[in-house]
Structure 1
Amino acid sequence: MTDTTPPNGPPNAPPDARTRILDAAEAIVQARGVPALTLEAAARKAGVSKGGLLYHFGSKEALLTGLLIRLAQAMSGDFEQAMARTPEGPGRVARAMLSWAFDDPGPGQEHQDRAAAVFLAAFHHDAALLDPVRELIGGIRAAIAADGLSPGVGQAIMCATDGLFMSHVFGLYRMTPAELAEVRQALTRLLEPAR
């Protein structure tokens, strides 16, 4: 059984059963936490039979794996869009990372909340399920290392933007828009010699 998400068909078409199941599982975890995520609850919320769910996901672990793969694909697409918006030159990956973290042209807070729920669900169930995201992050780390910046600059920017996301995931603190602007300015100043 594969965990690749098939296309959903033409625009405005209703989501396929697999997508509805993933959406339902994500909503359950976000609203009620990991303990509430059962195959029965996901099937009921998705409007499919338990057999229909088992056709796509044979276990809770397979369902969580599907959520993580979908999340990694979405993150990869978001980062690729940030790279496409970022001019060539030294520090391009780091500048794209700042754009990705601070500009977020996508669904913003809702997207972060869903991602946070999926991260926590996977970590709670089995930390190895985060491997698709680790692979994506590993690729970005390699690109940062070859970004033409002084040693440590790209990594500092990556650590700072990851820290902002993790503070959101764990609900440690929320920064005001003014604070976020100040942080972005400080991180951008790190890039000035490279530009």
Structure 2
Amino acid sequence: MELAVIGSAKPLSVSDAVFGREFSEDLVHQVVVAFRNAGRAGTKAQLTRSEVSGTTKKFKKQKGGGARHGDYRAPIFVGGGVTFAAKPRNFAQKVNRKMYRAAVCAIISELNRQGRLKVVDSFDVAEAKTKALVAKLNEMGIARPLIVTEDGSDALFLAARNLPYVQVRDVQGLDPVALVGAEYVIMTAEAVKKVEEWLA
């Protein structure tokens, strides 16, 4: 298949397997959830009743005082332990490389079908000025894009840093969450070729 290149009369020939794959919502959902879970710290920790500092002495007699209690570390008391205390854990889920690549292919293909994938010859700014990048995006009529370059310049990264809905990634830093969250994806022709090599 061929992709239209903005600012060029010559289309870009690409693989159907990467840019024309059928969309699988279940696969994409599984990979996106796994990717986000892998970024979780999992450092939450609470104390059980056996870990709370304090005496284990029975603080009142068994009978004659209403409810029966052993010690103040029980979960029903303020300062007591937590019933089902959270402990540090790893949230990572196993995703095969083949599944991961298939999900990225499916997302890119769906973006292409919806007309949200824009291919340009090159994308850069002369100086690290947010105003220059905003003007360039307004010229293209695109807001909230994910810009994917083969190796983005420092000026482009710095220009986009202050825009909350604009992300700049190189091909190595491309991930399914960034692709799913982008309203439009602007990709340079060189980046398209690198993505094709990676996912083929």
TM-score higher than 0.5: no
Query: Which structure would you say has the larger Rg?
Result: 2
Where is the helix percentage greater, Structure 1 or Structure 2? 1
Q: TM-score range by the shorter chain?
A: under 0.3
Where is the strand percentage greater, Structure 1 or Structure 2? 2
Give me the TM-score of the superposition, normalised by structure 1: 0.25
Give me the TM-score of the superposition, normalised by structure 2: 0.25
